[in-house]
Amino acid sequence: MSYTNFTVETDADGIALVTWNMPDKSMNVFTADVLKELDAIVDQTVADAAIKGVVVTSGKSTFSGGADLSMIKGMFTFYNEEKARDPEGAAQKLFDLCGQMTGLFRKLETSGKPWVSAINGTCMGGAFELSLACHGRVASNSKSVKIALPEVKVGIFPGAGGTQRVPRLTNAQDALQMMTTGSSLTPQRAKALGLVHELADPDKLIDAAKAMLKNGLKPVQPWDEKGFKAPGGGIWTPAAAQLWPAASAILRRETNGNFPGALAIVKCVYEGLQLPIDLGLKVEQRYFTQVLQTTEAFSMIRSLFISMQELGKGARRPAGVPKTELKTVGVVGAGFMGASIAYVTAAAGIPVTLIDRDIEAATKGKTHSEGLVKDSIGKGRMTQEQGEALLALITPSADYNDLKDVKLVVEAVFEDRQVKKDVIEKVEAVIGEDAIFASNTSTLPITGLAKNSKRPNQFIGIHFFSPVEKMMLTEVILGKESGDKALAAALDFVAAIKKTPIVVNDTRGFYVNRCVFRYIHEAYDMLIEGVPAAMIENAAKMAGMPVGPLSLNDEVAIDLSQKILKASIADLGEASVNPEHMALINKLVDDLDRRGRKNGKGFYEYPAKPAKKFLWPGLKDLFPQKPAENFDVETLKQRFLVTIALEAARTVEEGIVTDPREADVGSILGFGFAPYTGGTLSYIDGMGVKTFFDLCEKLAAAYGEHFQPTALLKDMAAKGQTFYGRFDPYATQAAA
């Protein structure tokens, strides 16, 4: 029997080697066809008496990344269509659909033939759940192997047996830790936890898997044996009495109840461990069906799984423009940002010429990369040889003529129009006619900078976020004259360095910073109103933000906030800035020299390590604080999320952001906007534009005109529209 996605070869010992190798795919993924073929392979191996056991592995460098985009999309489409056709029976049909993979894996593990999973690379999500259903697991000891159940990160949870098999193989605490964080395990860690039985050298992996079968591997899982007890003794033990209250408290502290998928994991493990495996799987199936019906799951999967992958693969790249061959890249400005850009470029295997005013400054920039390399080697993320190879790709220089052969130059000099003008002129005097110039400015509009260029159609913005080596987002900013070639080159570069791009049109603050400063300015308003600073920070985190606004302002620097406010006044007039905000920041910076983390004092105090930072007590003297009971926490949470989402809606109305996927992904990757919402526009769509419009009006009446909803929102509310409906990115692509 032949298959499209698998090959089956049986050796002289009666061991069938099932190799998963999907054609035209760089990585194996689960699709409806893959599941159908795997089901047939189980039947085939059971029916063939000559087959004594089965090894399943991958024909690619990775094992599998889990479910395919189309499969995930299909589940939501299926449910919505069924709900429209049969509201009463839709949930039952979704439940049955959710049980297909669970049923297949259960069929495999009770087939009567022993199966061994030979894990040769990344094994994520459903692929690891398949491996868990196998009676034996052998993993390659290669550093490239990563094992994880990361579904919680995209709003769902391991729903094909993961929540039942993992805690039956390892202790409940480690099982919960693995699944509620979605963190990756090394092969060594997976073996220590009992999730993998053996490790083998990559070239001996299949031999080790076959040896496990030849040594008499039982075709019965431990939980199907009479008298099975879960590691640690299960639920009704003294140890469990300590674990479960603590687990619930930690989950509440880390998620504030905002992630239905994370809560469902705890429920599945707790309830499932009290039941036989088949009933436990049924419990998991019911919770998975329930979570799939939540707004959070739909929004998170759309933004953090589907949209992020689409944008990363060049969804906004102009069609018909040849791919840019980046044989070398120039970076001008060897300060912190420029040095970091040079590092991530070299880490992608691209040679970099790092230019600064003199060779000492340029060499100092390379020293930054040397520090990052040393840190990576120390943490085992990089070998000495890899580190040396990376550093060899960075060439410091003070001679602009060294840029003559580059196809892309990234400017990362001081945020001053004259300084940037000088750099643009020096670079354009030496680079080739087809080279692209990109500015990493974070505050200066690209269109204005491009006026200094002799070829503004080849001038574009690429805004990196700090620290560059950790932040996954870049904003690609189109000036009014930026051409398709410049956009394509910028997106090719961003893809090469493995960042996720969003494309935005030119404006002050672009997209991310406009939203970030709305968040920070709302905290200023609250301080001025007398809301206790600790309550401000905690309410923001309860709303789902990763850090409070005052802490964030300390990180970006309070004197930078002052600079931005002053620039707004200079360019747009006094009315563009709240005078109370200006007075607050001037007081902190000019009178008190409180500039943020960089000088050890801002809204927080930063004592010497190991002591932790704490809110500056003097805030109480600047603004007399009212009792906490005077303020409603839910309202504070709403104010933070609404002011940011409203600013995102303004950028859409102004034509700055044209694709709702980019608004959502940019808000989450750029500054951590409450991920459970799916991003700024998904937050609005999730509650309904009419509901959001009414909430804005309510907040505007109580807290100021900056909450007043826009004309676009009013029109959309009246028409019952959503952002993903009115600005459908797929319709735009189809039209193009």
Q: Are 665 and 502 in contact (CB under 8 A)?
A: yes
Mean pLDDT over 116-132 rounds to 96
80's enclosing H/E stretch is helix 69-85
User: Would you state the pLDDT for residue 232?
Assistant: 82
Q: Is the pLDDT of residue 735 over 90?
A: no
Q: Encoding tokens for residue 206? A: 């299949």
Mean pLDDT over 471-489 rounds to 95
CA distances from residue 598 to 62, 270, 396, 566, 605 in whole angstroms, order as listed? 42, 45, 27, 20, 11
Question: For residue 67, which of 309, 277, 263 has the smallest C-alpha distance?
Answer: 309
- List 135, 368, 463, 581, catalytic entry: 463
Q: How far apart are CA 241 and CA 232, in angstroms?
A: 12
By residue count, the chain amounts to: 736
**Residue 706 designated active-site:** no
Q: Please give the CATH topology (third level) of the domain spanning 329-509.
A: Rossmann fold (3.40.50)
User: Would you state the pLDDT for residue 653?
Assistant: 97
What mean pLDDT, rounded, does the chain reach? 94
Q: Encoding tokens for residue 117? A: 């999973």
User: Would you state the pLDDT for residue 119?
Assistant: 97
User: Would you state the pLDDT for residue 734?
Assistant: 54
Residues in CB range of 574: below 8 A, 6 or more apart? none
Mean pLDDT over 292-319 rounds to 92
User: Would you state the pLDDT for residue 310?
Assistant: 92
Q: Are 53 and 113 in contact (CB under 8 A)?
A: yes
Q: How far apart are CA 69 and CA 149, in angstroms?
A: 17
Q: Are 125 and 67 in contact (CB under 8 A)?
A: yes
- Tell me the per-residue pLDDT of 671-681, one tens digit each, with 9 for 90 and over: 999 999 999 99
Write out the E strands in 556-669: 604-605, 614-615
Classify residue 638 as left (phi > 0), alpha (psi -120 to 50) or beta: alpha
Q: How far is CA 654 from the centre of its chain?
A: 27
pLDDT band at residue 80 using 50, 70 and 90 as cut-offs = confident
Mean pLDDT over 551-557 rounds to 93
- Tell me the per-residue pLDDT of 154-166, one tens digit each, with 9 for 90 and over: 999 999 999 999 9
> Higher confidence at residue 37 or residue 81?
37
Q: How far apart are CA 176 and CA 271, in angstroms?
A: 13
User: Would you state the pLDDT for residue 732?
Assistant: 60
Tell me the three-class secondary structure of 446-480, residue by residue. Answer: HHHHHCCCCCHHHEEEEEECCCCCCCCEEEEEECC
- Tell me the per-residue pLDDT of 336-352, one tens digit each, with 9 for 90 and over: 999 999 999 999 999 99
Classify residue 232 as left (phi > 0), alpha (psi -120 to 50) or beta: left
pLDDT band at residue 687 using 50, 70 and 90 as cut-offs = very high
For residue 43, count other CB atoms closer than 10 A to its CB: 13
Q: Are 507 and 514 in contact (CB under 8 A)?
A: yes
Q: Which residues pair with 124 in a beta bridge?
A: 148
Which is it for the CA torsion 426, 427, 430, 436, positive or negative?
Answer: negative
Amino acid at 142: S
The number of helix segments (H) and strand segments (E) in the chain equals: 32, 18
Residue appearing with tokens 């998904």: 682
Mean pLDDT over 392-401 rounds to 95
- Tell me the per-residue pLDDT of 7-64, one tens digit each, with 9 for 90 and over: 999 999 999 999 999 998 899 999 999 999 999 999 999 999 999 999 999 999 999 9
Q: How far apart are CA 135 and CA 715, in angstroms?
A: 58
Question: For residue 410, which of 321, 470, 454, 350 has the smallest C-alpha distance?
Answer: 350
Q: Is the pLDDT of residue 497 over 90?
A: yes
Residue appearing with tokens 């159908």: 36
Specify the CATH class of 513-726 in words. Answer: mainly alpha
Please state which architecture CATH assigns to domain 6-293: Alpha-Beta Complex (3.90)
Q: Is the pLDDT of residue 230 over 60?
A: yes
Q: How far apart are CA 216 and CA 615, in angstroms?
A: 62
Which is it for the CA torsion 504, 509, 513, 518, positive or negative?
Answer: negative
- Report the interhelical angle of 172-181 vs 260-272 (nearest 10°): 160
Q: Is the pLDDT of residue 243 over 80?
A: yes
Domain with CATH 3.90.226.10 in the chain: 6-293
Q: How far apart are CA 301 and CA 675, in angstroms?
A: 10
Q: Encoding tokens for residue 48? A: 């063939």
Q: Give, rounded to a whole angstrom, the gap between the first and last alpha carbons of the chain.
A: 43
User: Would you state the pLDDT for residue 401?
Assistant: 94
Query: What is 325-374 written as a DSSP string?
Result: --S-EEEE--SHHHHHHHHHHHHTT--EEEE-SSHHHHHHHHHHHHHHHH
Mapping DSSP to helix (H, G, I), strand (E, B) and coil, where does residue 433 land? Answer: coil
Q: Is the pLDDT of residue 281 over 70?
A: yes
Residue appearing with tokens 């940002």: 337
User: Would you state the pLDDT for residue 114?
Assistant: 98
Mean pLDDT over 588-610 rounds to 93
User: Would you state the pLDDT for residue 236?
Assistant: 86
Amino acid at 67: A
Q: How far apart are CA 130 and CA 49, in angstroms?
A: 23
553's enclosing H/E stretch is helix 549-556
User: Would you state the pLDDT for residue 595?
Assistant: 94
Domain with CATH 3.40.50.720 in the chain: 329-509
Q: Is the pLDDT of residue 443 over 90?
A: no
Q: How far apart are CA 455 and CA 433, in angstroms?
A: 9
Q: How far apart are CA 459 and CA 453, in angstroms?
A: 7
Domain with CATH 1.10.1040.50 in the chain: 513-726
- Tell me the per-residue pLDDT of 129-157, one tens digit each, with 9 for 90 and over: 999 999 999 999 998 899 999 999 999 99
Q: Are 109 and 134 in contact (CB under 8 A)?
A: yes
* Backbone φ, ψ for residue 70 (5° rounding): -65, -35
Q: How far apart are CA 162 and CA 123, in angstroms?
A: 13
Question: For residue 347, which of 381, 297, 319 has the smallest C-alpha distance?
Answer: 381
Mean pLDDT over 592-598 rounds to 93
